[in-house]
Amino acid sequence: GEDWDGMRDLDHNSANVQTTVKAYLQMLKDKFGYAGFRYDMVKGYGGKFTALYNNASQPEFSVGEYWDGNINKVKAWIESTKSDNVPTSAAFDFPVRYTVRDAVNNGNWAALDGVGLAKDPNYARYAVTFVENHDTQPGQSLASTIESWFKPSAYALILLRDAGTPCVFWGDLLGTPETGDLPAVRELPLLMGVRFRAAIGPQHN
């Protein structure tokens, strides 16, 4: 996979590493009540290992952070997590997130109809849509925020559609108590309520 100097490398081909990762994931489920896992920086190692770890731990949900705007690369990663010809993990829908960001920030509204995992019927169930996350907020490694005035509309775009599994950034919903920042999107509780009440799409939960 691709290199990243933010963490030490793990040799996922090592039986010792595999055993340790499996034990760690099982501990998260059994001791701390985790229902699912978010795999960080999945560009750094083969998707077959995500399949290996998911098959061993059987999470209710799995999502990989394959940060790339190229939809074919994200699809290829999802395909690489297959076990018995079925993907074992979803992926964050960076292609649609970047499409929304660029459309708004550049005034290219036509681009809002652009491609994304959630718009592909073959991958919609494996698409985790989002507007912001901890890496895209100001000062972070992938800082590229969507204009604040458009965030309610961006969240409406992912919460009120019938495809994908929407993910809400805690800072947008709850604010940041450490800095005194208020919730960035006051409309989020309303939008989330509409989704829950309407049970939109097969991934409405």
Q: What amino acid positions are annotated as catalytic residues? A: 40, 65
Residue matched to tokens 């990989």: 64
Strand partners, 128: 92, 165
Beta strands in the chain (DSSP E): 36-39, 61-64, 82-83, 86-87, 90-92, 127-130, 165-167
H-type alpha helices, 106-181? 151-159, 170-174
Cβ distance 56 to 25 under 8 Å?
yes
203: left (phi over 0), alpha (psi -120 to 50) or beta: alpha
Contact predicate 4/44, CB 8 Å = yes
